[in-house]
Amino acid sequence: MQKILQIVEKWGGRKDCLIEMLHDVQTEYNHLPESALRVLSARLSVPLTQITHVATFYASFSLVPKGDTRLRVCMGTACYQKGGNRILEALERELKVKSGEVTPDGEFSLESARCIGCCGIAPALVVDDDDVFGKVNPTKMKKFVADIKKKKQAGKQSAAEA
C-alpha cells in the first residue's frame, strides 16, 4: 500500500482533499480497492463509512475493477430515441458481456450512462472519459471495437519502443 501512502503525502494528508485522493487511487488501481479505502481512513482519521459514502456518491468512482478501456453508452432521452439501446446491445454482443460488466481479459468495461450531455450528436458513447463519439451506428460496433484495440496496441508498442 506504498502507493496509497504516497497519494496521501502528495495531498499533504488533508481531509479536504479526499476526492482528489480517491481519483488518484482509482487512476492507480482502475477502481477503489477496499484495502486502499481502509488505508485512507486510517491515515486521514476519517471513518471508513464516510469515505465509502463519498466513493459511492459520485458515479465516476468504482468499487469494482474496471477494464483497461471504459465504454459508456448514453441512454439519455435523445440518445435512447435515436438508438442508444441498439448501440448498447451491439456492444454487448461484440464484447460478450452485459452492461456493467468487464470482459474476461480485463480489456473493456461496458456501461450505460443516464446522459452525457451530447444530445445534438445522439446516439453517443464515451471512451475512457476522454473521447466522445456521436451519431454512432450499431452495425459499426464490431469495427469500432477493433479500431480501439488496434489503437491501444499501437500505443503499447510505441511505449515499449521508447
pLDDT tens-place string over residues 11-58: 999 999 999 999 999 989 989 999 999 999 999 999 999 999 999 998
pLDDT band at 129 (very low <50, low <70, confident <90, very high): confident
**pLDDT of 131 over the 70 cut:** yes
The residues of the chain that CATH labels 3.40.30.10 are: 69-161
pTM of this prediction?
A: 0.74
Q: Which helix (H) or strand (E) holds 113?
A: strand 108-113
Please enumerate in sequence order all residues whose Cβ is within 8 A of that of 96, keeping only pairs 6 or more positions apart, or say none. 103
**pLDDT of 158 over the 90 cut:** no
* pLDDT for position 162: 65
Please enumerate in sequence order all residues whose Cβ is within 8 A of that of 43, keeping only pairs 6 or more positions apart, or say none. 4, 5, 8, 13
The cell numbers describing 161, all together, are 519502443
Question: Which homologous superfamily does the CATH classification assign to the domain defined by 69-161?
Answer: Glutaredoxin (3.40.30.10)
Give the Cα separation of 5 and 36 in Å (integer). Answer: 9
